[in-house]
Structure 1
Amino acid sequence: MVAGFKGFVIQVPSLWVTGMALYPFVFVKNKKPEEKLLHHECIHLQQQLEMGFLLFYIWYFVEYFIRYLHYQDHYRAYRNISFEREAFLHESTPAYLRERRFWAFRAFL
């Protein structure tokens, strides 16, 4: 488990993605998710705490829509959402959440 994680990991075998964060829950497809996936989702939990849940999801989907219009490709649009860029870049850095600045995702806009 990710150090300092205070949420709940719930396995959902029918989940269409490998992991999803909805504070305070991390939903995972596999019974034993990789540490990297949990860290990625914990970064999203921190983003949600900072922005507030509703604003986070509105921003996430608006940014996805804009990126989709730009790239005309679901995967490229998803990977270029600022929240995802931050999480993918730092998912392998265990100390990242302790060092992370407030609203750090802005550097990826």
Structure 2
Amino acid sequence: MILFSKYLVPKGYVGITIFPFVVLKHHALKGNRVLVNHEKIHLKQQIELLVILFYVFYGIEFMVRLIKYKNWNMAYKNISFEREAYTNENNLEYLNTRTFWMFFSYI
């Protein structure tokens, strides 16, 4: 389900996925198929890791990357969940062919 809120989406971002919702900053972004696909990839990741584990791993990996790169944006872009989503966001058929094991190639 897609919701719209400029208050729930952090500054500097246009969308966020909080299971079971995709929250976009502006209604016009709903037509951005690449962005929506990116967020749907995160939904699939969250489901596979039973939601809570996704957030635990995401948070730990972000902290490790932040210590390593000492740069918020580089840390964010190098989280394995984000690498998978960014790499495949243009492939609108990705979720139809993706298997759980494909994620491990981004770790």
**Common fold by TM > 0.5:** yes
Compute the RMSD of aligned alpha carbons.
0.9
Alpha-carbon distance in 2 for matches of 1:21, 1:67: 20
- Using the TM superposition, give the Cα deviation of residue 105 of structure 1 relative to its aligned residue in structure 2, in angstroms: 2.1
Amino acid at match of 1:12: S
- Using the TM superposition, give the Cα deviation of residue 104 of structure 1 relative to its aligned residue in structure 2, in angstroms: 2.4
Provide the residue aligned with 1:32 in structure 2.
28
Provide the residue aligned with 2:87 in structure 1.
89
Alpha-carbon distance in 1 for matches of 2:94, 2:23: 21
Alpha-carbon distance in 2 for matches of 1:22, 1:90: 20
Alpha-carbon distance in 2 for matches of 1:13, 1:35: 19
Provide the residue aligned with 2:64 in structure 1.
66
Structure 1 spans left out of the alignment, 5+ residues:
1-7
What is the TM-score when the length of structure 2 is the normalising length?
A: 0.91
Alpha-carbon distance in 1 for matches of 2:49, 2:28: 29
What is the TM-score when the length of structure 1 is the normalising length?
A: 0.89
Alpha-carbon distance in 1 for matches of 2:99, 2:37: 16
Amino acid at match of 1:43: I
- Using the TM superposition, give the Cα deviation of residue 22 of structure 1 relative to its aligned residue in structure 2, in angstroms: 1.3
Is the contact between residue 50 and residue 103 of structure 1 (CA under 8 Å) also seen in structure 2? no
Structure 1 residues 32 and 52 mapped into 2: Cα distance closer, same or farther (>3 Å)?
Answer: same
Amino acid at match of 1:61: G
Alpha-carbon distance in 2 for matches of 1:76, 1:9: 27
Which moves more between the two structures, 82-91 or 94-103? 94-103
Amino acid at match of 2:6: P
Amino acid at match of 1:51: L
Structure 2 spans left out of the alignment, 5+ residues:
none
| Percent of paired sites with the same residue | 37
